[in-house]
């Protein structure tokens, strides 16, 4: 299985050889995510080249490794934090409080107070009660309202968990003002892993309509947060990062003329391709002579880092040393005694027929939403190990 | 919402008052699972009273807390371990190696060797390659073959991930012998949370047929492992533990006359009702005036301990101090910035309409499959805390 990285020419020189050289020269006694910091730098620069005047707020939840935050601070990135711990991590690595937004719409009141005390001034909200918590614990803070825009073309559309509709948003802008807060703008999310920039158009159209309604209602908005959705390569074609980001910005500028500040929150699109998981085959088997497919069991599964395989949503790319051998489909599963710990069954994965217990398997582009999803010790398995090079 | 515990008269005296008294007298600054050891003891005795001559191998994966293992060692329990770490935990708490089985059908070769070296002699398998690993690393060990029996009436039927069919099983018994192993028996699993003992009948019928075929083929089997499936109370009626276990054993003895050794592996049925999670409301909101239901966001979600709400499979019982107020349906979700972190949406949960951010919520009967499923720090949230009383 040959892997095709989707990347700009500018980042081509650093990957994937540095990761591969490191991995090839070492043995690992448990599943391990290896992250290449230089690949993160290259991706930051590629995205920034396209995003232009927009501020990048790296979505820390994608991968909060200390070294990644530190590198992004050095590069001038801003940060989108989901919790007190993520804010603390950013500040500890040298980020300025002015460059860290508290983007989770669901915040503990005491965490808002703590963040405000640290100098964090920008908070997300999508509900009256959230605004009340912010007003009480961060009086006078800036807030942006998150919208639901249900026209997604993402590989993994978001549920209605976050955001509110237009009428509610306009009321929340008023309510924020009444509570003494500074309602500065709006945010939305096109959906995780939106593979082509062109897919943003319907969402941006809908948002521009809502934005104009807010302006018409007299709100002085100066911040548009375009959220995440920047893709990583998982086997299906994606636009290269600079071209993708530039096209998104072109569409944004055309629909939101003269908006003072724009922020974007890439997470997956920043770090996924900078990581590879080194795993091992535990067992290959058939359940019955009548079975269509083999089963292949890895030492990593849905509860030890590969949570995004739920519903077979994210399809990772696998590499083994036997990929020149004849290939065949298999059902791929994790090592735990949990029947839900199956990675790909509806759409089997093609792996070498010669694969056997003890073989190494590389899982490509796994730098985002893996290490922190890992369970603490389900079935007694240790959490995914992380090495940053 | 009044909670009705399903329990034998023998265990009634100890629960739920001890947990409630502890929880009521303390504050918690993060989601916390509180486990009542006396409730575990009572449940062990209730199950053992029904299981009679069968050995209880507690499924450690349900909750591997050190104090629970120690208490069960004192009570005479045996243990079913899924990994090296779980075996180590049992031995550290005083279990005899002879009382610990390595029940995961997917084992790392080096872990088999380690376990054999520790004195573990009983291993599960459902595939040729697994038998080869056992023969190479634990020469002469006893093995039982896990069967797939697809007639489940469980609330959460297992997938085909574990076990093999009859023809394969008979071949594996032969192969084990050829490899120098001791093929001593068979195992199966009726499916997690099988609420009534009567639901075991079709599976036991199918297994008895396979067992007889193995005897007819000349195999000297002396161990029947009936697995888990023992239920916990999640709102739907379940049989009380002693009566349930006794009825299962009656059905087993009728179908497997004179089998020398029987083992059972309760996990959920042993510890779920001994635990309560203390959580907090983070936010209540509506997304739109047209919405049917409120959203209620807790400080615990699918990635911080409540993984078994996937597909809304396990429906926990919630209690608040406002349960005398008017109730109404809500969509219940976790605190992370992950759109998949929704607990109950298809079948909303009834909670007080007066509920608001900061309110305490008790989540009942959460002692199994919660603490170890918790992610290490997804979105920066700390893992579920555990207190054993």
The model's pLDDT over B20-43, given as tens digits with 9 standing for 90+, comes to: 999 999 999 999 999 999 999 999
Test the B interface: residue of A134, A379, A383, A384 with most B CBs within 10 Å: A379
Which residues from chain B sit within 8 angstroms of residue A102, using beta carbons? none
Cβ–Cβ under 8 Å, residues B185 and B224 = yes
| pLDDT given at position B11 | 42
- B86 touching A (Cβ < 8 Å): yes
How many C-beta atoms surround the C-beta of residue A270 within 10 A?
A: 28
Last residue of a domain, one of A231, A266, A301: A266
pLDDT for B43-96, tens place per residue?
999 999 999 999 999 999 999 999 999 999 999 999 999 999 999 999 999 999
Provide the number of structural domains found in chain B. Answer: 2
Residues in chain A: 389
**Which residue, B49, B75, B76, B72, is CA-closest to B60?**
B72
Catalytic residue numbers of A read: 337
**In B184-326, alpha helices (H):** 201-216, 241-255, 268-271
Q: Is B342 part of a structural domain of the chain?
A: yes
* Residues A349, A237 within the same domain: no
Catalytic residue numbers of B read: 337
Mean per-residue pLDDT, B141-151? 91
Regions in chain A scoring below 50 on pLDDT: 1-15
* Residues A238, A312 within the same domain: no
In this structure, what CATH number is given to the domain that contains residue B304? 2.40.37.10
- B136 touching A (Cβ < 8 Å): no
Q: Is B380 part of a structural domain of the chain?
A: yes
* Residues A130, A173 within the same domain: yes
Q: Print the domain residue range for B348.
A: 273-388
**Pairing of β A122-125 and β B32-35:** unpaired
Cβ–Cβ under 8 Å, residues A34 and A23 = yes
Task: Output the DSSP codes for B21-32.
Answer: HHHHT---SS-E
User: Hey, what are A137's tokens?
Assistant: 């614990």
- A297 touching B (Cβ < 8 Å): yes
Cβ–Cβ under 8 Å, residues A156 and A314 = yes
Which residues from chain A sit within 8 angstroms of residue B379, using beta carbons? 61, 82-83, 86, 104, 372
User: Which helix (H) or strand (E) element contains residue B332?
Assistant: strand B327-333
Cβ–Cβ under 8 Å, residues A357 and B109 = yes
Tell me the C-alpha distance between A283 and A298, whole Å.
Answer: 7
How many C-beta atoms surround the C-beta of residue A53 within 10 A?
A: 9
In this structure, what CATH number is given to the domain that contains residue B138? 3.20.20.10
Q: Is A216 part of a structural domain of the chain?
A: yes
User: Hey, what are B71's tokens?
Assistant: 């208490």
DSSP helix, strand, coil percent of chain A (3-state; round to 5): 35, 25, 40
What three-state secondary structure class fits A239?
coil
Q: Is B8 part of a structural domain of the chain?
A: no
* Residues B206, B297 within the same domain: no
Test the A interface: residue of B60, B314, B376, B382 with most A CBs within 10 Å: B376
Contact A375 B374 (CB under 8 A): yes
Q: What percent of chain B has pLDDT over 70?
A: 94
Last residue of a domain, one of B222, B242, B271: B271
Q: What is the dihedral of CA A155, A242, A37, A12, to 10 degrees?
A: 100
Which residues 205-244 of B are in CB contact (within 8 Å) with A? none
Q: Is B29 part of a structural domain of the chain?
A: no
Q: Over chain B, what is the mean pLDDT?
A: 93
**How far is the alpha carbon of B69 from chain A, nearest alpha carbon, in Å?**
13
Contact A162 B283 (CB under 8 A): no
Lowest mean pLDDT among A14-28, B267-281, B375-389: A14-28
| pLDDT given at position B292 | 77
Q: Is B373 part of a structural domain of the chain?
A: yes
Contact B379 A333 (CB under 8 A): no
Contact B61 A299 (CB under 8 A): no
* Residues B167, B204 within the same domain: yes
Tell me the C-alpha distance between A265 and A271, whole Å.
Answer: 12
* Residues A339, A236 within the same domain: no
Q: Is A76 part of a structural domain of the chain?
A: no
* Residues A324, A217 within the same domain: no
The residues near A109 (Cβ < 8 Å, ≥ 6 apart) are A133, A136, A137, B357, B358
| pLDDT given at position A360 | 98
* Residue in B with minimal Cα distance to A104: B337
**How far is the alpha carbon of B341 from chain A, nearest alpha carbon, in Å?**
8
| pLDDT given at position A5 | 42
pLDDT for B320-357, tens place per residue?
999 999 999 999 999 999 989 999 999 999 999 999 99
Contact A377 B372 (CB under 8 A): yes
Cβ–Cβ under 8 Å, residues B171 and B145 = no
| pLDDT given at position A100 | 98
* Residues B224, B307 within the same domain: no
ipTM field: 0.92
Tell me the C-alpha distance between B383 and B195, whole Å.
Answer: 30
* Residues A236, A290 within the same domain: no
- A265 touching B (Cβ < 8 Å): no
* Residues A239, A374 within the same domain: no
Cα-flanking dihedrals φ and ψ of residue A47, to 5°? -70, -45
**Pairing of β B360-364 and β A32-35:** unpaired
Which one of A342, A345, A375 has the shortest CB-CB distance to B375? Answer: A375
Cβ–Cβ under 8 Å, residues B293 and B348 = yes
Last residue of a domain, one of B220, B244, B271: B271
Chain centroid offset of residue A130 CA:
24
* Residues B359, B212 within the same domain: no
How many C-beta atoms surround the C-beta of residue A92 within 10 A?
A: 11
Interior/surface letters B275-302, b for 16+ CB within 10 angstroms, e for the rest? bbbbbbbbbbbbbeeeeeebbbbbbbbb
Which residues from chain A sit within 8 angstroms of residue B380, using beta carbons? 60-61, 64, 81-87, 89
Q: Angle, nearest 10°, between helix axes A109-118 and A128-137?
A: 50
pLDDT at B177 over 70: yes
pLDDT for B282-330, tens place per residue?
999 988 877 778 999 999 999 999 999 999 989 999 999 999 999 999 9
| pLDDT given at position B291 | 77
Which one of B82, B297, B376 has the shortest CB-CB distance to A376? Answer: B376
- A373 touching B (Cβ < 8 Å): yes
Q: Is A223 part of a structural domain of the chain?
A: yes
| pLDDT given at position A291 | 77
Test the A interface: residue of B57, B158, B283 with most A CBs within 10 Å: B283
How many C-beta atoms surround the C-beta of residue A150 within 10 A?
A: 13
**Pairing of β B275-285 and β B32-35:** antiparallel
* Residues A262, A308 within the same domain: no
């Amino acid at each position: 299985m040959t892997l095709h990285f989707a990347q700009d020419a500018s980042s081509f020189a650093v990957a994937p050889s540095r990761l591969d050289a490191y991995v090839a020269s070492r043995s690992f006694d448990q599943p391990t995510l290896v992250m290449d910091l230089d690949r993160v730098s290259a991706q930051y620069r590629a995205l920034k080249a396209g995003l232009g005047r927009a501020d990048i707020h790296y979505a820390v939840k994608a991968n909060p490794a200390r070294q990644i935050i530190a590198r992004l601070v050095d590069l001038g990135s801003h940060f989108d934090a989901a919790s007190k711990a993520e804010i603390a991590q950013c500040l500890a690595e040298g980020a300025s409080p002015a460059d860290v937004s508290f983007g989770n719409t669901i915040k503990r009141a005491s965490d808002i107070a703590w963040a405000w005390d640290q100098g964090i001034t920008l908070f997300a909200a999508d509900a009256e009660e959230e605004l009340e918590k912010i007003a009480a614990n961060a009086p006078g803070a800036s807030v942006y309202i998150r919208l639901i825009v249900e026209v997604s073309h993402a590989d993994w559309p978001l549920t209605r968990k976050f955001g509110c509709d237009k009428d509610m948003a306009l009321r929340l802008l008023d309510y924020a003002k009444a509570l003494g807060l500074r309602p500065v703008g709006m945010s939305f999310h096109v959906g995780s892993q939106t593979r082509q920039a062109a897919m943003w158009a319907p969402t941006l159209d809908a948002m521009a309509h809502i934005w104009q309604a807010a302006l018409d209602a007299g709100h002085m908005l100066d911040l548009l947060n375009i959220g995440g959705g920047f893709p990583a390569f998982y086997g299906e074609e994606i636009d290269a990062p600079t071209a993708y980001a530039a096209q998104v910005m072109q569409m944004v500028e055309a629909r939101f003329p003269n908006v003072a500040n724009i922020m974007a929150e890439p997470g997956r699109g920043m770090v996924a391709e900078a990581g590879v998981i080194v795993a091992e085959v535990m067992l290959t088997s058939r359940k019955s002579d009548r079975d269509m497919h083999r089963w292949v069991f890895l030492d990593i599964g849905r509860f030890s880092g590969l949570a995004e395989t739920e519903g077979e949503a994210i399809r990772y790319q696998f590499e083994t040393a036997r990929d020149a051998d004849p290939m065949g489909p298999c059902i791929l599963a994790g090592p735990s005694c949990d029947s839900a710990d199956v990675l790909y069954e509806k759409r089997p994965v093609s792996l070498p027929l010669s694969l056997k217990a003890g073989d190494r398997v590389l899982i490509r582009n796994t730098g985002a939403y893996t290490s922190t999803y890992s369970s603490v010790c389900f079935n007694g398995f240790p959490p995914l190990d992380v090495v940053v090079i």
